[in-house]
């Protein structure tokens, strides 16, 4: 009887998934990660230098996904380092700012690079941020949307006055969604500031990772560079510098989704 009861309480399988965030500076990449990992938002967050590393668990009905997240710097001088971070990644968030058309152009560049050079079958989510700077009626199309977030660097408060004159949207939902569908990307409009749809993005990615990738990635999503950088430590507030490219690595762990 004891064995039968124990069999019914078997823990869910757990798999590690490497995820990279890419996008122009100040679109809100770090704020999205901070909201997902710590359920927090900082108005004047310092820009990321090199890359930051964080972890977070996403609990699905039949398994637990542990995201190992590389939040890359958006400044152009760090662009050449990106392949080091998306190498062997099973998933990516490509983030743009709904109020800045050039950020979508940059996002499309990152999507093309991932499709050309990243792992075959990588799950890519296109994420439009800072919807709180827009008027809800300005969204054309029926994409998953919310009230959006803030900066990857210090850029704006995100406060919105009532009325159409407060609408700062420059990229329509329909335009971005059509591109995402054309490229077979997941698509969300999110809010790092309010938290709306942030966990949904990561849950959608977790559900989209093929079972074959999960089996191959279990306990091995981090490459040797990640392990060396962290020194085998997880779940603390340690910060270390990678040798070679300057990368600020913060290891934090929680449980969400």
Q: Spell out the residues 6+ positions from residue 171 whose beta carbon is closer than 8 angstroms to its own.
A: 96, 98, 99, 100, 101, 104, 128
Q: Please report whether residue 1 resides in a domain.
A: no
CATH number of the domain where residue 139 is located: 3.40.50.300
User: Total structural domains in the chain?
Assistant: 1
Q: What is the dihedral of CA 186, 76, 112, 242, to 10 degrees?
A: -80
What radius of gyration do the chain's Cα atoms show? 18
> What pLDDT is stored for residue 227 in this prediction?
46
CB atoms under 10 Å from CB of 105, counted, come to 11
pLDDT at 131: 80
Closest by Cα among 51, 54, 57, 52 to 16: 57
User: How many whole angstroms separate alpha carbon 75 and alpha carbon 25?
Assistant: 5
Whether residue 156 lies inside any domain: the answer is yes
How far is the C-alpha of 248 from the C-alpha of 188, rounded, in Å?
28
Give 118-166 pLDDT, tens digit per residue: 999 999 999 999 888 887 776 654 444 333 333 344 333 334 344 444 6
Predicted confidence (pLDDT) per residue in 60-99, tens digit: 999 999 999 999 999 988 999 999 999 999 999 999 999 9
- Residue 4 inside a domain? The answer is no
Position 135 scores a pLDDT of 79
- Kindly state whether residue 50 falls inside one of the protein's structural domains: yes
Q: For residue 69, tell me if it sits in a domain.
A: yes
Q: Computed from CA positions of residues 128, 132, 134, 136, in that sequence, does the dihedral angle turn out positive or negative?
A: positive
> Is 100 among the domain residues?
yes
pLDDT in tens, 7-23: 556 788 999 999 999 99
Question: Residue 25: inside a domain, yes or no?
Answer: yes
- Is 7 within a domain? no
User: How far apart, in Å, are the Cα atoms of 10 and each of 7, 25, 207, 257?
Assistant: 6, 44, 21, 20
**pLDDT at position 243:** 31
Q: Render pLDDT for 36-52 as a digit per residue (tens, 0 to 9).
A: 999 998 887 888 988 99
- The residues, any chain, with a CB within 8 Å of residue 89's CB and separated by 6 or more, are 18, 19, 20, 70, 118, 119, 122
Give the residue numbers spanning the domain of 215: 14-227+235-256
Q: For residues 147 and 51, what is the distance between their CA atoms, to the nearest angstrom?
A: 26
């Amino acid at each position: 009887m004891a064995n039968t009861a124990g069999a019914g309480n078997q823990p869910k399988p757990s798999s590690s998934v490497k995820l990279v965030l890419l996008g122009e500076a100040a679109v809100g990449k770090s704020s999205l990660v901070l909201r997902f990992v710590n359920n927090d938002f900082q108005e004047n967050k310092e820009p990321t230098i090199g890359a930051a590393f964080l972890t977070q668990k996403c609990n699905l009905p039949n398994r637990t996904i542990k995201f190992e997240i590389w939040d890359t710097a958006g400044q152009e001088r760090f662009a050449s380092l990106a392949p080091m971070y998306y190498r062997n990644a099973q998933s990516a968030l490509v983030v743009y700012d709904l109020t800045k058309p050039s950020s979508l152009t940059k996002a499309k560049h990152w999507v093309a690079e991932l499709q050309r050079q990243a792992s075959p079958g990588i799950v890519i989510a296109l994420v439009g941020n800072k919807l709180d700077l827009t008027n809800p009626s300005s969204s054309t199309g029926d994409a998953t949307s919310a009230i959006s977030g803030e900066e990857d660097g210090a850029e704006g408060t995100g406060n919105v006055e009532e009325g159409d004159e407060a609408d700062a949207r420059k990229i329509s939902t329909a335009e971005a969604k059509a591109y995402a569908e054309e490229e077979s990307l997941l698509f969300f409009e999110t809010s790092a500031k309010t938290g709306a749809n942030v966990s949904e993005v990561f849950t959608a990615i977790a559900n989209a990772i093929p079972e074959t990738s999960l089996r191959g990635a279990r306990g091995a999503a981090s490459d040797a560079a990640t392990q060396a950088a962290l020194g085998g430590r997880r779940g603390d507030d340690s910060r270390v510098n990678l040798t070679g490219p300057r990368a600020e690595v913060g290891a934090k762990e929680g449980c969400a989704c």
